[in-house]
Structure 1
Amino acid sequence: MTTTSPVDGAGLLDEVEAFHRRFNAFPTPAASVAVALWSAHTHLLDAFESTPRLAFFSPGPGSSTTQGLAICGTLVPQPMMAADTSPAALLRAVAGLDGGRPTILFHEIDALFESKTRGAEELRGLVIAGHRRTGVSYRSEKDGGQQTVQAFPPYAAMAMASLGRLPEAVLTRSVVIRMHRPDPNEHVEAFRARIHKPEGHALRDRLAAWADSVRDRAAGAFPEMPDGVIDPSAELWEPLLAVADVAGGDWPRRAREACTALAPLAARASLSTRPHQTATNTQEEKNAA
C-alpha cells in the first residue's frame, strides 16, 4: 500500500511569497506575508465566516498595484477581472449561478466609488456586503410575467487596486498594502503572462490540494490575536492567521508580526486624508521589516 506524504504547508507558503516578491516591490516583509496568506486563504473560503478585501494602494504611475493583481490572479481559484462588469453578471457569478464562486480582482476601483450611477451603487454594495458569509444581496428578477425578489449570496474573496481613495466601509474590511516604486537597487521582474502564468498556476494547484488536506483544521480554528488587535481588525485577520497556524513552521510568528504592523493602516486611513501618501512607509511597516 502506498501512502501520500503530507504537504509541507510552510514550505508552500514560502514559495507563494517568493513568487509574489519576484514581480512586486513590497514596502516591507509584512506586506508580502499578508499577500501570500491572502492568496492561500482564497482556497479555504468556506472554512471561514469572513474574507478580508486585499487593497493594493498606489502612490501613482510606476508602482506595482496592477502587477500585484496579476500575480494574485495566477494563484487564486477562478479569478475574475471585474473592472468592467455589470452588477447582475457579478452577482450571478459570485452566487455560483454560472459556475463556481470566483475570486474578484478589481482594477481602478476608485472610479467605482466615485461614480453616481445605479450600477456603481449596486457594485459598492457587493464589495461591502460580500466580505461576510452571512451577507445577502437582493435583486428584482423576472419570473414569467411577474417580478420577484431573489436573494444572492455575495460572499467572495476580492483584491483591489486603488489610488488610496476608498470609503471607510471598505477600508475597515480591507488589509491595506501600500505599494511603492521599486528602488534603483531593487530587482523586480516584469510579469509576462505566457511565461509566468504556468508557474503561478502550478502553485495554485498545489495550494488547492493543500487546502483540501487542512480544510477541517482551518474551519475549527480560533487563532490567537496579537496584543492590541481587536475587531474589526481581528475579524479581518482571523482567516489569515488560521492559514498561518495550519501551515506551521515560521508562519504563525510572521503572520502575527504582519498583523500587528498592518492592522492599524486601514483603521487610520480615510477618504479625505493622505489620499496619495503611499510612497513613504509608516512606522508600523518599518517596525515589521
Structure 2
Amino acid sequence: MTTDPIDGATLLNEVEAFHRRFNVFPQEAAYVAVALWDAHAHLIDCFDSTPRLAFLSPEPASGKSRALEIVEALTPSPMVAVNASPAALFRAVSGLEGRPTILFDEIDTVFGPKTAGDNEELRGFLNAGHRRSGVTYRRVAAGDTQRVVAFPSYCAVAVAGLGGLPDTLMTRAVVIKMRRRTPDEQVSPYCQRIHEAEGNKLRDRLADWALSVADTVRGSWPVMPDGVTDRPADVWEPLLAVADAAGGDWPDRARQACVELVATAGEDDRTSIGSRLPIDLRDHVHQLSSSDTDHPATCPAARPEGTTS
C-alpha cells in the first residue's frame, strides 16, 4: 500500500499557525524562521551545522518561555535543560538513546554577569555543537587512570532568556527579539496537558516529511540572498534548505525572513525605560521567571463552556 506524499509547504503552514495560536513574535519574519527551525531539527543529520534559536528580551513577561514550550512540542526528543550540568549534556548528546533537541530556558542565569565565568564548559559545548564535526573533550576515569574522551556535541539547541548571549553564541543563532505583547495582540492560553498532544501530532508529521525529503535536503546547496555571507550564511543555510524542500511560497518567505533577521540581529534593543532593572535584579529576585509568559496558568480557555474559575 502506498501513501500520498506529504505536502511540505502545507505542513509548515500548520506549524506556523500553531505558533501563532500561542506566541506573539516581534515581526512576521520570526514566525517563518521559527517554523523552519522546528522542521530543521528533524533533519540535522543532513547539514554541516545547526543554528541556535534564541528567544531574547531585555524585560520579563515577553513570552520567551512560552515560545520555548511550543518548540518543545514540535521538535524531536526535546530535553529541557534548566540547571543541567555540562556532564549531563555531554552524556545525553552522545548517548545511545538518540540525539536530543536541547531547550535551555533562563539562559541568562548561566551567562549573566555574575555567573558567566563559571560556565565556560557549557559555553564550549554550545559553541562546539553548532557544527557536525564538533566534539567536547573530557577526562574520564578508567580504573586508576584517566583518559581523554571526545564526546560528540552536535545537536539542535534553542534558548530563552533575559538580555543577550556571549558573542560566540549570538553569531551562531537565529535571534528572536521578544517583547511584551500589546492589549490588542491576543493569543490562546497554552495548557501543556491539552495542547502538547496537538503539537506532537505535527511533530510526528514533520518527522515523516523529513524522512521523505532527507536525500534532497542532504544534497542541496541553497542560494543565499544578496549580502548574506560568512557566519550568517552558515546560520541560515539549513533553514533555507528546508524551505526549498517544502516549496510553495516558503523559499521566498524564508529568504525575506533571512534578510530581515540578519539585518536586525546587530541592532541595539532599546525598550521601555527601566527595562534593564529587572535584569539587574534577576539574580536576587528569581521569582521573576514565573511571569515570563503572558498567559494564565489555569488555562481558562480550555475549560468546558459554562464553568468558571
Contact in 1 for aligned 2:228/2:259 (Cα 8 Å): yes
For 1:192-203, what aligned pairs fall within 5 Å after superposition?
Answer: 192-203=191-202
Aligned to 1:145: 144
Q: What's the CA shift for 1:162?
A: 2.1
For 1:227-238, what aligned pairs fall within 5 Å after superposition?
Answer: 227-238=226-237
* Deviant stretches of 4+, over 2 Å: 276-279
One-letter amino acid of the structure 2 residue matched with residue 148 of structure 1: R
Q: What's the CA shift for 1:187?
A: 1.3
| Aligned CA-pair RMSD | 1.3
**2: distance between equivalents of 1:157 and 1:183?**
31
1:24-73 C-alpha deviation (Å, 9 max, x unpaired):
11111100000000000000010000000001012422211000000000
For 1:156-195, what aligned pairs fall within 5 Å after superposition?
Answer: 156-195=155-194
TM-score norm. by structure 1 comes to 0.90
For 1:274-289, what aligned pairs fall within 5 Å after superposition?
Answer: 274=268, 277=270
User: Which stretches in structure 1 are left out of the alignment for 5+ residues?
Assistant: 280-289
Larger Rg: 2
**2: distance between equivalents of 1:73 and 1:190?**
16
User: Which stretches in structure 2 are left out of the alignment for 5+ residues?
Assistant: 273-309
Aligned to 2:276: none
For 1:26-105, what aligned pairs fall within 5 Å after superposition?
Answer: 26-97=25-96, 99-105=97-103
1:161-216 C-alpha deviation (Å, 9 max, x unpaired):
12232111111000010112122111111110011000000000000000000000
**2: distance between equivalents of 1:80 and 1:3?**
34
**1: distance between equivalents of 2:95 and 2:234?**
25
Q: What's the CA shift for 1:116?
A: 4.9
Q: What's the CA shift for 1:242?
A: 0.2
**1: distance between equivalents of 2:37 and 2:270?**
24
**1: distance between equivalents of 2:191 and 2:140?**
42
What secondary structure, in the 3-state scheme, does the structure 1 residue paired with 2:176 have? strand
For 1:210-225, what aligned pairs fall within 5 Å after superposition?
Answer: 210-225=209-224
Contact in 2 for aligned 1:140/1:148 (Cα 8 Å): yes
What secondary structure, in the 3-state scheme, does the structure 2 residue paired with 1:101 have? coil
What secondary structure, in the 3-state scheme, does the structure 2 residue paired with 1:43 have? coil
TM-score norm. by structure 2 comes to 0.85
